[in-house]
Amino acid sequence: MNLKTVMVVLGTISSLSVAGAGAAQAAGALRVRGTVVSFKPTLLTVKTRQGDTDAIKLKAGWKISGVANASATGIKQGDFLGIASVSKADGGSGALEVVVFPAALKGTGEGDRPWDLQPNSRMTNGTVADVTDISGRSVTLTYDNGQTKKISIPDTTPVVTFAPATPTDLKPGATVFVTAERGSDGALSASRVVVGSNGVVPPM
């Protein structure tokens, strides 16, 4: 992986996983999920999963990344993950999606915070302290100086890592995830875009 690719991945991961701790806590910040309607060099138009159409101005120097499939069976102690999850009836948590971070980015966005993938979902970024395979695969994440959270990973859970992408991947119909900011005039802007490619879509 060359330096340019590393910087693209770094920027993308920061935009995704520091949610609630940086840009995602800024006034007017929101996450846009949907499919590309059109793309111009400084404007991305997205049809959201709610059915709305959002025009997002892309800031100077904006970055793009893709996603690639990873495997829950490859997760091991010491890995750093970002997991969106929901509470289960037994008091535990079940994963909705898993992002495997490159080792060099361990610690990015560490913590547990509300998320909006589904109602009452949360995002937990932490280091794998333990992996178990009893009644399915589960991981225990540690974060914030010793807090822990055990999360089961159903077989159907999307597990991804980050991959290179280019603006040419922003074709109509492509699935995207964008952390955007809403200005005082109501307009949306963003500095990073995650796009699906090769049949893999951003599950965040």
pLDDT the model gives residue 22? 41
Shared domain for 179 and 135, answered yes or no, is no
Residue 201 lies inside a defined structural domain of this protein: no
Residue 41 lies inside a defined structural domain of this protein: yes
Of 160, 193, 158, the residue nearest 34 (C-alpha): 193
Q: What is the mean pLDDT of residues 56-61?
A: 97
Backbone phi, psi, residue 18, to 5°:
-95, 15
Q: What is the mean pLDDT of residues 128-135?
A: 86
Taking 50 as the threshold, does the pLDDT of residue 6 lie above it? no
pLDDT the model gives residue 200? 95
Of 42, 38, 98, the residue nearest 71 (C-alpha): 98
Q: What is the DSSP annotation of 25-59?
A: GSTTEEEEEEEEEEEETTEEEEEETTS-EEEEEEE
Q: How confident is the model at residue 3 (pLDDT cuts 50, 70, 90)?
A: very low
In the three-class reduction of DSSP (H, G, I as helix; E, B as strand; rest coil), residue 119 is classed as coil
| Count of domains forming the chain | 2
Residue 18 lies inside a defined structural domain of this protein: yes
Shared domain for 86 and 129, answered yes or no, is yes
CATH of the domain at 47: 2.40.50.140
Residue 180, domain extent: 3-67+163-195
Which residues are CB-contacts of 175 (< 8 A; sequence separation ≥ 6)?
34, 35, 36, 195, 196, 201, 202
Shared domain for 79 and 46, answered yes or no, is no
* pTM for the full predicted model: 0.81
Shared domain for 133 and 179, answered yes or no, is no
pLDDT the model gives residue 28? 57
b/e burial code for range 21-53 (CB count within 10 A of at least 16 → b): eebbeeeebebbbbbbeebeeeebbbeeeeeee
Q: How confident is the model at residue 136 (pLDDT cuts 50, 70, 90)?
A: confident
Shared domain for 143 and 103, answered yes or no, is yes
pLDDT the model gives residue 162? 87
pLDDT the model gives residue 91? 76
